[in-house]
Structure 1
Amino acid sequence: MAQRCDRAEFLLSWQPYFLFESAPDEGMPFVEWMRNVAGEEAAGKAQRREGTLFELCDEMGLNLDADRRLGNTVYSHCLVDYAGKISPAVQTELVEVLFEGNLANGELISDINFLLRCAEKVNIDKEGALAHMQNAEIQQQIIAAYKQTVQEIGVPKLPFTIMTSNRNPELKLAFSGDMPPSTMAAIFDKLLDSSTET
């Protein structure tokens, strides 16, 4: 995106994705979860901090905590939704704080107190955030939005990006993030070129 800022203004919006939809609030050890979904070899790699996910985090300077627990993410998705209603910039800032706390520091993503601390760090009203997270109707809206995205587009693996343009909203380009930068740049160019066609 930084290389294409001379051609367009980018607006980043984070959408919900439930990696472990049935996760208990108290969480499950990450290595145990890897064993359940991908087998013993994958669990061993996670324990040794090997594999694409750890490599990506290392490249970003994020020390991924292999001992962390995976918890239910519905509250965190509601909080990200609340931040998005303030502004895309605040939403992205919150997501970065959540990533650092959960992935690097082993904070439990389903812990309301952790989420409220994250909200406070980016100057989000804690009372409003708490009410939004605990609103059952909003929780159902978040889950419905996730299911619609998966149904309409399909999400094979994370990170996953959906791009569209204000000038051509019908055109949607979807791609997985773990690809060479040159491939991603070509996708950006295709969208930008289609948006300037008359």
Structure 2
Amino acid sequence: MAQSTAKKLITIDVSSDSICPWCFVGKKNLDKALAQSKDQYDFEIKWHPFFLDPSLPKEGVSKEDTYKRKFGTARANQIIARMTEVFKGVGLEYNMSGLTGSTLDSHRLILFAGKQGSDIQHNLVEELFTGYFTQGKFIGDRDFLLECANKVGLEGAAEYLDNPNNGLQEVNEELGKYSANISGVPHYVINGKHQLSGGQPSEVFLRAFQVAAK
């Protein structure tokens, strides 16, 4: 009987921000590619922090007003209409209600989740994106963060978040290591060398896996 060959391991480092709509679209397409190729490869995915707007306040500001202030009303409306269509394309409803704000606590939580397993981390990112982009949840709300943590089985999240210093150094180290040389997100590094940027379609990920596995 022929011996079955071991599946090749593909590592994926994703730099992302919890309020980046293209990061959620990219994740949906990545997940599709992962599902299509899980028989060929084993995957290890790690999520790393990026701040699209470090000036956003911790207490939260209107999501829509922030867009209009940043891009101007006409351009903001164009962006919102475009994202609504793009989200529809991946089976999601784009929701601009609610608040936006500092994503620091979400990044602290994501890194904490990574210590309990890459699956837990990956699933937590999904819950954060889903709540923020489709349900109008506020990314800085402790209750929302803990609700996401509970859904994915992350243990000790409340105690961890209660100390604002937990994970701070780690977030800064990760920013220096993974975000210093990139100008936007999502950004993917596959097997430590093959780089992709933006909300790529699943076919692009599949091709990248093939190249990386050679």
- Residue-by-residue CA offset, 1:103-149 (whole Å, 9 max, x unaligned): 11111111112111221222222xx2133233415223213312432
Kindly provide the CA deviation profile for residues 80-101 of structure 1, in whole angstroms up to 9, marking residues without a partner as x: 1111111111112211211121
Corresponding position of 1:140: 169
Calculate the TM-score normalised by the size of structure 2. 0.74
Deviations 1:155-178 (A, max 9, x none): 43x3322211xxxxxx41221242
Counterpart in 2 of 1:151?
A: 180
Aligned to 2:115: 85
What's the TM-score once normalised by structure 1's chain length?
0.79
The counterpart of 1:50, out of the listed 46, 58, 81, is: 81
1:58-85 deviation per Cα after TM superposition (whole angstroms, max 9, x unaligned): 2232222112321111111111111111
Q: Which has the higher contact order (CA 8 A, sep 6+)?
A: 2
**Where in structure 2 are there 5+ consecutive unaligned residues?**
1-33
2:205 paired residue among 175, 178, 184: 184
Counterpart residue type for residue 205 of structure 2:
M
Map of 1:29-178 to 2, 5 A cutoff? 29-46=62-79, 49-51=80-82, 53-125=83-155, 128-133=156-161, 134-136=163-165, 138-152=167-181, 154-156=182-184, 158-164=185-191, 171-178=192-199
For 1:55, the aligned partner's letter is: E
Structure 1 spans left out of the alignment, 5+ residues = 165-170, 194-198
Give the letter aligned to residue 183 of structure 1.
V
Matched pairs, number: 180
Q: Is the 8 A contact 1:68 1:103 kept in 2?
A: no
Distance 2:113 2:199 in 1: 26
**Which 4+ stretches in 1 moved above 4 angstroms?**
none
CA contact 2:132–2:138 (8 Å) conserved in 1:
yes
Residue identity (%): 28
